[in-house]
Structure 1
């Protein structure tokens, strides 16, 4: 009987330990509205007073703030394993994480790169240092992760993308929403300026830790290959991986653990920064 009680106690303790998930509303002064956001805290957050590194994790086209926690079932386990706070903001249906030159009320770059972090760092025990912040995402959010990471490299120390839709100058179909944000698709210069390829042409003074990956059967894998090729040409250090998989949640649920490990290692190397 004592052994049964002891086993029950141990199992209860084991299953009680898991990441906590908050859903918060974060106001955007730039856009005059509020959007929801999921914040995943590791188990250790509630058991002490330490501060934690932060990973901003972006959703894809047609997605929403709770996609990651709802569809990547292992994410909470990874948050505990790598002991980071993960923030999943809402990037709307097809924001592309841009400040639109066509729509003055569409300011998702400002929202994700400035307003959301300001809220998180005022409400949670997270480290306010460049070397303790990372941003990544999937598909449209892969574009967002690298685009915002490159554009705000004084704030984020690491950035990544999974199955990233990086070459937005080639995304001309109206249903994807890029032309609504950037105007006539004939204006290739504007499109390129709002892609990671345009950002990579700018002189850089900050060194970002970069990670990209994609499934070999993904219908936009060529965009990841083009980004990898350009980074090599520019001699910009980065991790690049292709593994079995498609443009789907089974791939991203697997891929996110490797991205979080990459960021955990980066945070540990920069613990004093």
Structure 2
């Protein structure tokens, strides 16, 4: 049996769009015909788990069939969050073992340095780190000089990922090195001078600590308005459209394709979607 690919969506900062990115990657993989298992380690919020619960309820109520991931049981998230480290890790290991029959295991991690987040990163084949289009989020990757904006040093999180990659390469060989992709998420539509400065620093840091920079999702209402139904733009079709469809939805689907391509994942075969004029 081949081992499933493990994708970890993580950083140590909340509000960067980890769960939004995670559900879109899962939806893209499902529409590409992959068997996907999900583990939501953000034990207090469980946004990804809630999303797919909404999906199951909406499709059942509307007589629609859409692909679904499997989700090993982590139990009561809030209770697990209060448990000691040993119990948390044991629960995670059991759930991870249950997911081994999937093609891809996607793990959504909390915004912080926790035992579960560290355990998940250690298992990753690919780490996807979203960040908002801002120096506020860049601080999660590296520190810059407040006067010159020159890069000073990698952040604690960057060093932690670097260490995880080094340990993985030593343990399993160079071929098993973790692929780290930083996604600029929630991009504003208008180009800005601030973004150019940010991109320059990101490229410098990428060379220094070894990540790739990929395209993310723009700050569109579309992504948020579909969440209550458990749907993404990949799920919309001429039969599945809980909201009015416009050309913006078609553009969002192309953004999603670009995201999947940048991660080196299978291109989704999306259902036909006719936008209103």
What TM-score results when the alignment is normalised by the length of structure 2? 0.37
Between the two structures, name the one with larger relative contact order (CA 8 Å, sep ≥ 6).
2
